[in-house]
């Protein structure tokens, strides 16, 4: 890892190792962070929590970066959007293949932009998004495709990103409600906190309105709140699928990715135009992405181990699981909201 001596805006704009990181409060200056490929593959996510202050940063007026970006290389850029706890990190790691594709896992800048857009969907924020996408689509090597997996807290950007880049495709990765709740419960108190945060984020922009007042929400359990967040995600993906259609987006149930990785990966690579052979797909399916825990890189993990983990959760939380699942199905039915995204009604 080498520190650079105050690079210029031109140097940063032309070097894809410099990732856009965050705008200042006013939105006038854009900070970059220098993260080479080898480091990106080691870092779980492209956020300060994982950078730990080990990477050089540099800030420039956003308009200076915008002026310099025209001459930078441009690769096809596609997206993996997800509903959380549904193997998105696994899929992102599986598709990270130098020479074919480079994957950006949860760049912090998209989370910041989503929050800006939730507060104000004005032209200035759309210009910031355009600049960031232009910076993200710089390939690390010629001929590579750029794949971006934003955090699910960035999902306010889905339609904006797909509209900005008519050539971009996206995976809409989700899990069914029971799998989602089981994964959340496996994470203990942290999972429950994330479920409430997801609800807060989604309810600020989702088109699905439940009509609960503050006191009614406070009477609901963590798992009920998380289930409502899941339903808002599904409602959103359903709308995206209907708007953009199967030529632009692919609905993928994480259960299918786990059950038959080669078939799922083949559909994904066909959508993204990665041109991978059957042998290459088999190598990925039999490789570390599917045999190591996606969040705990040193830990072996398997479909069987995953199944056992979920069964343990069901044994411990069975009553809560079935009650919340039945309740949420009733809520969805009352609102006419889908439990799975579909391309058409």
Choosing among 1.10.1040.10, 3.40.50.300, 3.40.120.10, 3.40.50.1860, the CATH entry for 73-335 is 3.40.50.300
- Residue 334 pLDDT greater than 90, yes or no: yes
Report the predicted TM-score, pTM, of the whole model to 2 decimal places.
Answer: 0.94
Tokens of 144: 């590579």
Each residue's pLDDT tens digit, 34-73: 999 999 989 999 999 999 999 999 999 999 999 999 888 9
For residue 39, the tally of other CB atoms under 10 A from its CB is 16
What is the DSSP secondary structure assignment for residue 292, as one 8-state letter? Answer: B
> Which range, of 86-90, 99-103, 271-275, 315-319, averages the lowest pLDDT?
315-319
Per-residue model confidence (pLDDT) at position 301: 53
Cα separation, 65 vs 62, in Å, equals: 5
What is the pLDDT, as a whole number, of residue 316? 73
Cα dihedral 263, 39, 132, 236 sign: positive
Cβ–Cβ < 8 Å for 258, 87: yes
pLDDT tens digits, residue range 227-278? 999 999 999 999 999 999 999 999 999 999 999 999 999 999 999 999 999 9
Tell me, what's the pLDDT at 1?
46
Nearest by Cα to 315 from 153, 168, 138, 182: 182
Beta bridge partners of residue 253, listed in sequence order: 174
b or e along 283-315 (b: 16 or more beta carbons within 10 Å of the residue's beta carbon)?
Answer: ebbeeebbebebeeeeeebeeeebeeebeebee
Sign for the CA dihedral angle at 276, 277, 281, 287 comes to negative
228 token code pair: 């409502």
For the chain, domain boundaries: 1-72, 73-335
- Judged on CB neighbours under 10 Å (0-12, 13-18, 19+), 190 is exposed
Whether pLDDT at 296 is above 80: no
């Amino acid at each position: 890892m080498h520190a650079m001596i105050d690079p210029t805006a031109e140097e940063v704009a032309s070097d894809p190792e410099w990732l856009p990181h965050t705008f200042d409060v006013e939105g006038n200056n854009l900070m970059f962070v220098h993260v080479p490929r080898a480091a990106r593959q080691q870092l779980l996510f492209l956020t300060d929590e994982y950078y730990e202050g080990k990477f050089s940063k540099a800030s420039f007026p956003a308009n200076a970066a915008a002026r310099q970006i025209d001459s930078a290389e441009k690769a096809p850029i596609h997206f993996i959007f997800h509903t959380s706890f549904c193997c998105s990190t696994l899929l992102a790691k599986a598709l990270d293949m130098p020479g074919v594709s480079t994957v950006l896992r949860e760049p912090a800048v998209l989370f910041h932009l989503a929050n800006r857009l939730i507060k104000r969907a004005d032209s200035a924020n759309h210009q910031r998004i355009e600049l960031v996408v232009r910076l993200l689509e710089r390939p690390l090597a010629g001929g590579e495709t750029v794949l971006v997996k934003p955090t699910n807290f960035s999902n306010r950007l889905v339609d904006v990103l797909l509209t900005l880049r008519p050539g971009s495709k996206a995976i809409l990765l989700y899990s069914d409600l029971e799998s989602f709740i089981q994964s959340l419960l496996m994470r203990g108190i942290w999972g429950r906190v994330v479920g409430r945060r997801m609800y807060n984020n989604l309810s600020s922009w989702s088109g699905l309105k439940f009509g609960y007042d503050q006191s009614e929400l406070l009477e609901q359990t963590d798992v009920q709140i998380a289930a409502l967040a899941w339903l808002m995600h599904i409602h959103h993906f359903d709308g995206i699928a209907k708007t953009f259609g199967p030529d632009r987006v692919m609905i993928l149930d994480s259960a299918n990715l786990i059950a038959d990785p080669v078939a799922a990966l083949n559909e994904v690579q066909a959508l993204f135009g990665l041109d991978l052979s059957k042998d290459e797909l088999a190598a990925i399916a039999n490789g570390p992405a599917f045999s190591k825990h996606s969040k705990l890189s040193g830990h072996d993990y398997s479909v069987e181990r995953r199944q056992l983990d979920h069964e343990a959760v069901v044994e411990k939380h069975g009553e809560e699981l079935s009650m919340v699942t039945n309740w949420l199905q009733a809520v969805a039915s009352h609102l006419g909201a889908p439990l799975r995204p579909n391309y058409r009604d």
